[in-house]
Amino acid sequence: MRIDVFSIFPEYLAPLELSLIGKARQDGILDLQVHNLRDFTTDRHRTVDDSPYGGGAGMVMKPEPWALALESVLPAVGQGTPRRPARTPSDSLAPAKPILIVPSPAGEVFDQALAYELAEEKHLVFACGRYEGIDERVLEWAAGTGSTGTGSDGIDPTSTGSDGPFRVRAVSLGDYVLNGGEVAVLAMVEAIGRLLPGVVGNPESLVEESHADGLLEYPVYTKPSSWRGRGIPDVLLSGNHAKIAGFRREEQLRRTVERRPDLIDALDPTILTKAELAT
Ligand code: SAM
Query: Using the 8-state DSSP alphabet, how is residue 177 labeled?
Result: -
Q: How many helices (H) and strands (E) does the chain have?
A: 9, 7
Angle between helices 182-193 and 112-119 (to 10 degrees): 70
Work out whether the CA dihedral 179, 182, 183, 184 comes out positive or negative: positive
Q: Residue 224: is the preceding peptide bond cis (ω within 30°)?
A: yes
Residue 81 to residue 164: CA distance in whole angstroms: 16
Residue 188 to residue 194: CA distance in whole angstroms: 10
Determine the pLDDT at residue 160: 45
| Separation of CA 2 and ligand 1 centre (Å) | 24
| Separation of CA 194 and ligand 1 centre (Å) | 24
Determine the pLDDT at residue 276: 79
Determine the pLDDT at residue 82: 46
CA angle 28, 31, 37 (to 5 degrees): 155
Per-residue pLDDT tens over the stretch 123-151: 999 999 999 999 999 999 999 997 666 66
Atom of ligand 1 nearest to the CA of 61: 14
Per-residue pLDDT tens over the stretch 168-218: 999 999 999 999 999 999 999 999 999 999 999 888 888 888 999 899 999
pTM for this entry: 0.90
ipTM: 0.99
Residues within the annotated binding site for S-adenosyl-L-methionine?
Answer: 129, 173-178
Residue 32 to residue 85: CA distance in whole angstroms: 25
CATH number of 2-193: 3.40.1280.10
* φ, ψ of residue 121 in degrees (nearest 5): -80, 160
Residues within the annotated binding site?
Answer: 129, 173-178
Q: In which element (H, E) is residue 246 found? A: helix 241-259
Residue 127 to residue 247: CA distance in whole angstroms: 44
Residue 177 to residue 104: CA distance in whole angstroms: 8
Residue 115 to residue 122: CA distance in whole angstroms: 13
CATH architecture of the domain with residue range 208-278? Orthogonal Bundle (1.10)
Residue 252 to residue 262: CA distance in whole angstroms: 14
Determine the pLDDT at residue 30: 98
Query: For the chain (length 279 residues), average pLDDT per consecutive 10?
Result: 98 98 98 98 98 97 98 79 46 77 98 97 98 98 82 53 87 98 98 97 86 94 98 98 97 96 90 79
140 C-beta neighbours (distance < 10 Å), count: 17
Ligand 1, pocket-test mutation among 104, 125, 139, most atoms within 8 A of CB: 104
| Separation of CA 151 and ligand 1 centre (Å) | 26
Angle between helices 136-143 and 63-71 (to 10 degrees): 30
The domain limits of the chain are 2-193, 208-278
- The residue type of 177 is V
Surface-to-core class of residue 4, CB atoms within 10 Å of its CB (0-12 exposed, 13-18 middle, 19+ buried):
buried
Q: Do domains 2-193 and 208-278 have the same CATH topology?
A: no
Determine the pLDDT at residue 150: 65
For residue 184, what are the contacts with CB-CB under 8 A and spacing of at least 6? 103, 110, 128, 171, 172, 173, 178
Residue 166 to residue 96: CA distance in whole angstroms: 9
Determine the pLDDT at residue 85: 45
| Separation of CA 156 and ligand 1 centre (Å) | 29
